[in-house]
Structure 1
Amino acid sequence: MSDVPFLQIEGISKYFGSITALDNVSFSLEKGHICGLAGENGAGKSTLIKILCGVHAPDAGNISLEGSLHRPKDPAEAEGQGISVFHQEIPICPNLSIAANVFLGPKMPTKAGRPDWKHMNQQCEELFETLLGEQIDPTKHIRDCSVVERQLALLVRVLSRNARLVVLDEPTTALTPPEVDRLFAIIMRLKQQGITFMFVSHMLEELIELSDQIVVLRDGCFVGRLEREEFSSEVLSHMIAGRTLSGQSSRRELPQKSPVLEVRDLSVRGQISGVSFQLRRGEILGIAGLEGSGRSAVARALFGAPPAESGTIRVDGKDVRITNPSDAMQHGIGYVPEDRKNLGLFDDMDIKYNLGIADVTRFTRWGLMSREKLRILAHTVQQDFHIKMTTPDSLITSLSGGNQQKVLISRWLALRPHVLVMNEPTRGVDVGAKEEICNLILKLADEGYAFVLSSTELEEMLSIADRILVMNRGRVVAEFSRAEATKNKVILAATTS
């Protein structure tokens, strides 16, 4: 091993006006290693990545790459020096082929002034085989690819440009567990080829599984560094949050009230069959299962997006017909989707409009939405649910993932729903925000709200759910009370045919 670290970060600081984004951050990374980068939203991870890839210049400190000063003036120069970022929001052209996406840019192979498709397709196949050990059809359109196939195309694009350090920015957010395993196997293969990685993730288990070392930032400062033999979820969560996060929550026993929601024989062809359950007021019902087990399909069917093809739904003892989201809202059912960016938020609108959009008539006068009423709503929600925002007029994209999720929950609470259905309620938020959201759900349940939570976060579900249904191949195969539920029991039911 060389005495000179592959990457040396020394005393890096960055300020945006009066805000300190990074404060004297220092650490190093060896060649061919995977360095996990952990921290809550706002910890400084994104700013550090942007400095590495030339988007921002540091206000103090230096970065060295294999002993040479690294201070790129833009991303193109950083890429030329071998540093590329693998973004969580995949920059692709869906109507072009895999090969076209891999070679897109000024260095695209041409022949007689036109793209040389034959050469690109052949080279693309070779790159996938050599770098990833994967065989692909280079002519396949990106729009027809799975999420992991799109990510692999981006990874090959990065590696084909002689990347020495690849920053993986939340690469698993939209992946299923088998797809995560596939991506991790490829990353380990590339590590053996000498590629160095910086892996940014909110998923502690993934950081622990993949990383050789984990660096933790908090409030722009370097908190510490863990080597592999020191890894543990408890230590890591404490370093990230600056406090010990609570585990199993203690909840009162639920009174034996009549059901607020009754579902019987709910079916959607090819997804779910004969799903039945009851939900009481103030109860949190978890639905567990592997990706494709049908748990997400149940959540979507309750909101009519798309509706069930057969079965009955009763709300407060009355049969209701839900054929679309409007029907669900009319009958007091709200829905927080698993993909908040594409299915929940209006990116081009500000925070106050995102909060009031589910109840337009309440905030409309003479055909226009009242900005003042929306601002009052936003300030009330901000105080009640501790949403960190500069102003209600800021774009929703200015908020962290955890605060965006609180906005989605608050949007429905303004309607006082009977039932709030949440699909992956803490996906893509940091460990501290996860605890805040779980505590918020518990608080609202104590106030009488009923929840249906569909989630792959098993530990989280075990900590807050009153009952857990387990789905396997479209059917409910087990039901556990809070006292009966264990991780092993749920996993066994979810994976046994």
Structure 2
Amino acid sequence: MNIEMTNIHKSFGTNRVLAGVDFDLREGEVHALMGENGAGKSTLMNILTGLHGRDEGKIVVDGQETYFANPKEAEERGVAFIHQELNIWPEMTVLDNLFIGKELTSGIGFLNMKQMKALAKEQFRKLAVTIPLTQEAGLCSVGQQQMIEIAKALMTQAKVIIMDEPTAALTEREIEKLFDVIRSLKKEGVSIVYISHRMEEIFTICDRITVMRDGKSVDTQAIPDTSFDEVVKKMVGRELTERYPARQPSPGETVLEVKNTSGKGRFENVSFSVRAGEIVGVSGLMGAGRTEMMRAIFGLDPLDSGEVWVRGKKVSIRKPDDAVKHGIGFITEDRKDEGLVLDFSVRENMALPNLFSFSSRGFISGKKEQDFVDTLTKRLQIKTHSSETQARNLSGGNQQKVVIAKWIGIGPSVLILDEPTRGVDVGAKREIYQLMNELTERGVAILMVSSELPEVLGMSDRILVVHEGRISGELDHEQATQEQIMTLATGGQ
């Protein structure tokens, strides 16, 4: 399928999102779409698939001017969209999620469970996925849910698949498997629109790249004809001299110490410490127990045994309120369901953990609250029409910045960051890294869980590697390599 989008414009009220975008897709190619958060990438694809109407411009599909009425019609015509924010029904089984709205029936109208299970198992086999089909989807990890969404799209026999940050929650092994599937689809003539902020992936799997900035298409190039630095400059309108800002750590006293902690069936006999002004990276394969450890420390899940010490004092953390009182903040990897109240405004989300700071005798000072929100919005360069904009209307990267802002506001002694730059563009990533450096300079201790090995190596002073619920090794920044981390993450020595 060949698609050509010309001079596409789109505004939401007074907010102009697209201001003349050109984009074309050829049969059997992987075409990268890159730009900072809020550049308009997802909006452009939502217009293609009929979720939004365009204000101006033309769309031609296989030589015919074509406008889909809605995403269902687009899918029926062979255009599938795997969204960054997952479309999972948590209380339904994995099998039900795969076939929702596309159930297979027998000749007399009953569900053909045997055929659906066979098709699902075959697709999971191709993706090397081992999730039980009878499991509730809500019990799956974010990475597993991502693989379910990918499998669902592949089962539609689509001619065009739009992938919006498809690897954000996947492990290196799962990413390689996905790339194998993409290469197979290319050979079959399937076209892929690949939206990602991971530059290494773009240069590994894509044929061409279109860069967007401020609602406009800046340039389209064949991948061999461009470079990392050139793409970044086009995206952000300036050069980023270093991908990871230099760190000069000078760790102080031990702020957080975890002793012999276990969570039944999740992790066992885990001990580590973090000092003031230090970034400790936590690496490992998906399902190894990294997130589960952090959730238990923060009181979201129970600790079955072990101790947590803050500044030399043993503390009891049974719920998140306890953690916050002891100066611990937690930026969750699942910003949509756990990090934000999507129907609340930017202001309300930022202020939520900090209301005590603006309150006096039970009353909230609106001015103090607004000053706080304005300061953090400016500091983190959050792109929003106003502080009263609902969080659900922000781009994924700007949603992530709001989550970070609300926890910075409590003035934490310890900040746990679980996949802090997931779905965030290269310019915003650097802003987050610089913010991490500023926080450590003020003495904040940071625990950073990340699936991106370059990020772990680029930002950590020490690295803890997790394998099957245990810490399999600890590496200093100077000695750590990707090979060493992967060896420890897979159970090697």
- Within 5 A, what are the aligned runs for 1:226-237? 226-230=221-225, 232-237=227-232
Contact (CA 8 Å) 2:170, 2:286: kept in 1 or not? no
Contact (CA 8 Å) 1:264, 1:275: kept in 2 or not? yes
Shift of 1:374: 2.7
Q: Which residue of 1 aligns with 2:115?
A: 122
CA–CA distance in 1 between the matches of 2:141 and 2:435? Answer: 34
Q: Which residue of 2 aligns with 1:272?
A: 267
Q: Which residue of 1 aligns with 2:9?
A: 13
- Within 5 A, what are the aligned runs for 1:139-288? 140=134, 143=137, 158=153, 163-230=158-225, 232-245=227-240, 246-254=242-250, 257-288=252-283
CA–CA distance in 1 between the matches of 2:203 and 2:472? Answer: 31
Shift of 1:46: 1.6
Contact (CA 8 Å) 2:457, 2:481: kept in 1 or not? yes
Contact (CA 8 Å) 1:402, 1:437: kept in 2 or not? no
Query: Bigger shift: 208-217 or 157-166?
Result: 157-166
- Deviations 1:443-487 (Å, cap 9, x if unpaired)? 111122221111122222322222222233333333333333333
Query: Bigger shift: 404-413 or 452-461?
Result: 404-413
Structure 1 residues 371 and 398, CA, compared in 2 at 3 Å: closer, same or farther? farther
Shift of 1:434: 0.9
1:308 and 2:280 aligned: no
Partner SS state of residue 404, structure 1: helix
1:452 and 2:447 aligned: yes
Correspondent of 1:350 among 345, 366, 369? 345
1:492 and 2:491 aligned: no
Partner SS state of residue 167, structure 1: strand
Write the letter of the residue equivalent to 2:270: V
CA–CA distance in 2 between the matches of 1:393 and 1:77? Answer: 34
1:393 and 2:370 aligned: no
Write the letter of the residue equivalent to 1:60: E
Write the letter of the residue equivalent to 1:24: G
Partner SS state of residue 410, structure 1: helix
Shift of 1:110: 7.6
CA–CA distance in 2 between the matches of 1:8 and 1:387? Answer: 32
CA–CA distance in 2 between the matches of 1:364 and 1:347? Answer: 24
Q: Which residue of 1 aligns with 2:68?
A: 72
**TM-score (norm: length of structure 2):** 0.86
Shift of 1:438: 0.8
Identity of aligned residues (%): 37
CA–CA distance in 2 between the matches of 1:469 and 1:351? Answer: 34
Query: Bigger shift: 54-63 or 416-425?
Result: 54-63
Write the letter of the residue equivalent to 1:388: K
Shift of 1:52: 0.9
CA–CA distance in 2 between the matches of 1:398 and 1:249? Answer: 30
CA–CA distance in 2 between the matches of 1:251 and 1:138? Answer: 44
Correspondent of 2:431 among 430, 436, 439? 436
Q: Which residue of 1 aligns with 2:324?
A: 329
CA RMSD of aligned residues (A): 3.3
Q: Which residue of 1 aligns with 2:285?
A: 290
1:377 and 2:372 aligned: yes
Write the letter of the residue equivalent to 1:57: G
Partner SS state of residue 49, structure 1: helix
Structure 1 residues 393 and 318, CA, compared in 2 at 3 Å: closer, same or farther? same
Q: Which residue of 2 aligns with 1:51?
A: 47
Correspondent of 1:474 among 469, 477, 483? 469
- Count of residues in correspondence between the two structures: 489
**TM-score (norm: length of structure 1):** 0.86
Partner SS state of residue 117, structure 1: coil
Q: Which residue of 2 aligns with 1:404?
A: 399
Write the letter of the residue equivalent to 1:296: T
Partner SS state of residue 125, structure 1: helix
Q: Which residue of 2 aligns with 1:37?
A: 33
Write the letter of the residue equivalent to 1:443: E
CA–CA distance in 1 between the matches of 2:125 and 2:266? Answer: 32
CA–CA distance in 2 between the matches of 1:9 and 1:353? Answer: 38
The runs of 5 or more residues in structure 1 that have no matched partner are: none
Shift of 1:431: 1.5
CA–CA distance in 1 between the matches of 2:9 and 2:51? Answer: 15
Contact (CA 8 Å) 2:85, 2:336: kept in 1 or not? no
CA–CA distance in 2 between the matches of 1:139 and 1:474? Answer: 24
- Deviations 1:220-278 (Å, cap 9, x if unpaired)? 222223324346544433333333332343233416x3222223333334433333333
Partner SS state of residue 279, structure 1: strand
Write the letter of the residue equivalent to 2:297: L
Structure 1 residues 374 and 459, CA, compared in 2 at 3 Å: closer, same or farther? same
Structure 1 residues 74 and 294, CA, compared in 2 at 3 Å: closer, same or farther? closer
- Deviations 1:322-363 (Å, cap 9, x if unpaired)? 232222222211111111111111112112221222244444
